[in-house]
Structure 1
Amino acid sequence: MKDLPDNIPRIFGHEAFGVVESVGEQVDEFAAGDAVVPTFLGQCSECVDCRSARSNMCSKYRFAVRPGMPRDGTTRFTDGQGRPVHHFFGVSSFAEYTVVDVNQVVKLNPAVPPALACLLSCGASTGKKFGVTHFINPKELGEEKPVHQAIAEMTDGGADYCFECIGLAALMNDAFRSSRDGWGKTIILGVEMHGAPLCISPHEILHGKSVIGSMFGGVKPKQDIPILADKYMNKELELDKFITHEVGLKDINQAFDLLLQGKSLRCTIWMDK
């Protein structure tokens, strides 16, 4: 991402499951031994946004890509020489131990398998087995038929809802153009990786289309993640097939290689293997 601060060294990772080792003096929401998932998006449950059903964007501790903790900006990590090591999204889960603000931790049913609980910490990709009924390969369409035209033909005028999950302005525009006149809605989930602006036709806006952004899928972490966990336990939510590989922390580079090669949906990185 173009605007990601270059504070290094830093500990990456933001999807995780863990067990509370200890809590701060003023923390009463959690106790040592609790099963939890950290989240990059916080929920203070006190501000106007956290109390509103219309938003999941905490306005007391606003989301930002910062190198330290959300309250004071300081780091809780140091290297072997005592030099500071920076945080990532306030989670930094590629480590045996991490320090996370209480607003970014959610207590979870300990019966949820750890490898799958990690997915609830942020999100997961989708595939045909998870609800996709049609697939379009732009390379097979040729230069004469753009993607939005193929989708319009397939859906009799355009899709009711279009989701952009990759993080490219060009695809965001494709998603918008693929939505239906009158009520089509485009939801931007991806973070534009090059910092490019989104340019859309004002004429198509006049035709009744709309565009909105969605951080963390609109989920309020502390109230919604436990619901998703219950749905999994009740076999209402498919998670198992998202995990395609597992490695130990010492082999974390192998996990990145699998991702870059397109061979992995989600790779669980175990701290104790």
Structure 2
Amino acid sequence: MGSLSDETVNGFFNPSETTGKVITCKAAVVWGPGQPFVVEEVQVDPPNKMEVRIKILYTSICHTDLDAWKGLNETQRAFPRILGHEAVGIVESVGEGVLDMKEGDPVVPIFNGECGDCVYCRSEKTNLCEKFRVNPFKSVMASDGKTRFSTRDGQPIFHFLNTSTFTEYTVLDSACVVKIDPNAPLKKMCLLSCGVSTGVGAAWNTANVQPGSSVAIFGLGAVGLAVAEGARSRGASRIIGVDINPDKCIKGQTMGVMDFVNPKDLKNPVHEKIREMTGGGVDYSFECAGNLDVLREAFLSTHDGWGLTVVLGIHPTPRLIPLHPMEFFDGRRLIGTIFGDFKGKSQLPNFATQCMRGVVNLDGFITHELPFSKINEAFQLLVDGQSLRCLLQL
């Protein structure tokens, strides 16, 4: 799908018929932890002040959606709920005070918002926002503490990660909506809502991977492969992928991974193998698996004196980091990243442009495409490790 002409936009909806009105549409509602998604009719309220209602065109599924669906911890147990946070769509209507977008604009939602005014947004040291940062506890809108979704009989349906994209229409705070180039390939732009931005940004912004450096990536899902793509584009001379799924070796080779290590094939710890391969350890390691034992291996796989480990994986259990404070005295460092340290509203449009120019290759991340009605099948593909990103068309 290419640019969005006025004719194309009007093919999706007629703003004059819906603006200011409640919209009845299809959404995938999950009613309890681990329960199948039910595609049913919901009601979507108009946007309040500084809110935006968008028509979702494509949405994809991330492991964070999977964890929330399972209800792995108390922060993710607000049900019924509309999950989803990777998508691309067009603006249907805007609330009072929204000046940076209008009806018909192509946009991507972001779970880590940017208001542009708070002390965090004005700082160059963080991409967090005081009010609209990612918050797994949040399940309602910021302006009034209410939801914009409800069932046909009026029961509230909760929001998810500032976004809720498993629906034909959704309402977001304007701080969590990014306008993109109308000539952008919209299917691929869906990837920038989370996975690709997080992985590439971790390599570019968080680690600042240098030309000629060595990298180890633990977990070759979409985020891990995005790290590989980011490291490749920065000129890394050695990119080692680590995964227990042997199929990831072939996929990784097409997306920047130069060497593959399967822990199941080793008698000794992974970090010993990587130190042996690299003459002491890699310059950068990235933990993308959400596993604390893997995190320790990633940390120890870096070179002492200067090695840096970046944490990208989501860790839903109450277990703490298995590192002794004295291990940091060898010069290794550990840091986490949210959304690849991109400031969403101010920096994502330029990143999208770089992707359009081929600086980052987005081909290969979308491994499956299904109609929205088959969302349960799409989730099973992710559970079975068969997909990177399954794109659902609404």
TM range (shorter): over 0.9
Query: CA offset at residue 115 of structure 1?
Result: 1.4
CA displacement at 1:199 relative to structure 2:
2.1
Q: 1:218: which partner in 2? A: 341
How far apart, in 2, do the equivalents of 1:76 and 1:16 lie? 18
Aligned to 1:187: 310
- C-alpha contact 1:13 1:93 (8 A) present in aligned 2: yes
The answer to whether the 8 A contact 1:92-1:98 is kept is yes
Separation in structure 1 between the aligned mates of residue 112 and residue 132 of structure 2, nearest angstrom = 9
Shift of 1:5: 3.0
TM-score (norm 1): 0.95
Query: Gapped runs of 5+ residues in structure 1?
Result: none
Asked if 1 retains the 8 angstrom alpha-carbon contact of 2:134 and 2:162, the reply is: no
Whether the aligned pair in 2 keeps the contact of 1:3 and 1:195 (CA below 8 Å) is no
Q: Distance in 1 between matches of 2:106 and 2:256?
A: 30
Q: Report the secondary structure of 1:17's partner residue.
A: strand
Map of 2:69 onto structure 1: none
Query: Per-residue deviation at 1:108?
Result: 0.3
- Name 2:78's counterpart in structure 1: 7
Match of 1:100 among 172, 175, 197: 172
Q: CA deviation at 1:3?
A: 4.1
2:153 to 81, 87, 92: 81
Equivalent in the alignment of 1:168? 291
Using a 3 Å threshold, how does the CA distance of structure 1 residues 57 and 261 change in structure 2: closer, same or farther? same
Moved more, 218-227 or 122-131: 122-131
Query: How far 1:69 moved relative to its partner?
Result: 1.5
2:377 equivalent in structure 1: 254
Judge which range, 43-52 or 29-38, deviates more.
43-52
Counterpart CA distance in 1 for 2:384 and 2:298 is 25
Task: Work out the CA distance in 2 between the residues paired with 1:202 and 1:55.
Answer: 25
One-letter amino acid matched to 1:141: L
| CA gap 1:17/1:187 in 2 versus in 1, 3 angstroms | same
Structure 1 115/195 Cα, relative in aligned 2: closer, same or farther at 3 Å?
farther
RMSD (Å), alpha carbons: 1.3
1:17-50 C-alpha deviation (Å, 9 max, x unpaired): 0000000012111110010000000001112221
Q: Which residue of 2 aligns with 1:131?
A: 256
Shift of residue 238, structure 1, vs aligned partner:
0.6
Residues 111 and 133, structure 2, Cα contact 8 Å, conserved in 1: no
* Deviation (angstroms), 1:53: 1.8
Whichever residue aligns with residue 121 of structure 1, its letter is S
Contact 1:23 1:31 in 2 (8 A): yes
Q: Quick check: 1:57 aligned with 2:120?
A: no
The aligned residue for residue 148 of structure 1 is 271
Identify which of 210, 216, 228 aligns with 2:351.
228
Q: Distance in 2 between matches of 1:121 and 1:185?
A: 26
Unaligned runs of 5+ in 2: 1-71, 197-221, 226-251
Q: Which moved more, 1:109-118 or 1:13-22?
A: 109-118
Question: Separation in 1 of the partners of 2:346 and 2:255?
Answer: 24
- 1:111 and 2:183 matched: yes
Whole-angstrom CA distance in 2 between matches of 1:161 and 1:237: 19
Of 266, 269, 273, the residue aligned with 2:392 is: 269
Aligned residues: 269
Matched residues in 1 for 2:115 and 2:122: separation? 9
Q: In 2 relative to 1, CA 128–69 (structure 1 residues): closer, same or farther, beyond 3 Å?
A: farther
What TM-score, normalized to structure 2? 0.66
Q: Which residue of 1 aligns with 2:46?
A: none
Amino acid at match of 1:76: R
Q: Give identity over the alignment, percent.
A: 46
Question: Residues 159 and 239 from structure 1, CA distance in 2 versus in 1: closer, same or farther, beyond 3 angstroms?
Answer: same
For residues 61 and 196 of structure 1, the distance between their equivalents in structure 2, rounded to whole angstroms, comes to: 27
Q: Which among 300, 323, 326 is matched to residue 203 of structure 1?
A: 326
Question: Among 74, 91, 99, which residue is 2:163 paired with?
Answer: 91
Q: Which moved more, 1:79-88 or 1:231-240?
A: 231-240
Q: CA deviation at 1:72?
A: 3.5
Cα offset, 1:262, TM superposition: 1.4
On the 8 A contact 2:132/2:176 being kept in 1, the answer is: no
Q: CA deviation at 1:87?
A: 0.3
